[in-house]
Structure 1
């Protein structure tokens, strides 16, 4: 049996948005579980605050999946912000940039449980002030494909060019907040250059948009999954 996969949802996304994606991977004989987040679980993280509540839920899910499938390791698939949050979870350095309750137990060093991390449309960089503190911690503590025992695969979509005109403004603004310039290609939210990571296996897929609710194809559409799913099979 192939290693089980845990899906980490994107920012403020509930697990329910990933049901079809989870079922699709299961149909490819890959046991798959989504971290059971609701929108309410994200509320404490608003305004650039600690994403510790999300990391705790990732760890509970990973440990449950390891026990359920009797396996030492799992694969993580992080969509959007779920990808860089997963990078914090992998690392050995305590995530201490926000105050933590006294005596709290931290769930780090998960690289020992994870065989590979696949990120889908993840903004691995940001100029936006609310997310920059967290992402600066990630990229300073764990630059690039940091963990030598984990295989990193970063998938970017190339479907929307950011321009200052009707229909392109959202992409332009989002790209500018992420990488510092809006006139570039991306998936409508994350520019290609930010979705890639130094030292990882970086892939760019044409015509792929950012989110499950996007019009057209997204990273979890059947024809798109077929283009990257082999990274979960070897």
Structure 2
């Protein structure tokens, strides 16, 4: 327990940074992924093409390379300076948005076509049809796969440790390499795994809550 109790200050900060990365990246991924998912099923060919190119390009790029671009490439573009934490959130959000878009697109395809046609028949625009009729139903049908995407996002926050962001995976170097801090590399890694198991368990509880709630609503 010394590896945990002797480093509570570092564990608290690292866990907080991990949660911030997860929540920030998840919010961005959900917003951007919803837009891209709608573009993927849009009747406008250009919108479908842009959505397809974005998904295929970003999803097939390793997350580490995405981080490399934002952490090392972005500063060379002479744009306003952004701290590493927001850059990490942007990298995670843009990458995860491709998976959110594909899951949502699959959910949209499960909504009966007649409902969208009926909505258009009463004068709703494509945007209104998507936001008021199709997307809400699609989200209800994709809770399990969507939660799997967010669990993967939580695990992907460990990539940020290699880019000067002090999250849980960075504790291995911070604690184990310090002579004034108790804990070996293996002990630190085991406790990091325990924390991630707890966080994933919490996400699973959230998943079951929404599944139960929306099953009743439907």
> Normalized against structure 1, the TM-score is what?
0.23
Richer in strand (by share) = 1
> Normalized against structure 2, the TM-score is what?
0.24
**Higher relative contact order (Cα pairs below 8 Å, separated by 6+ residues):** 2
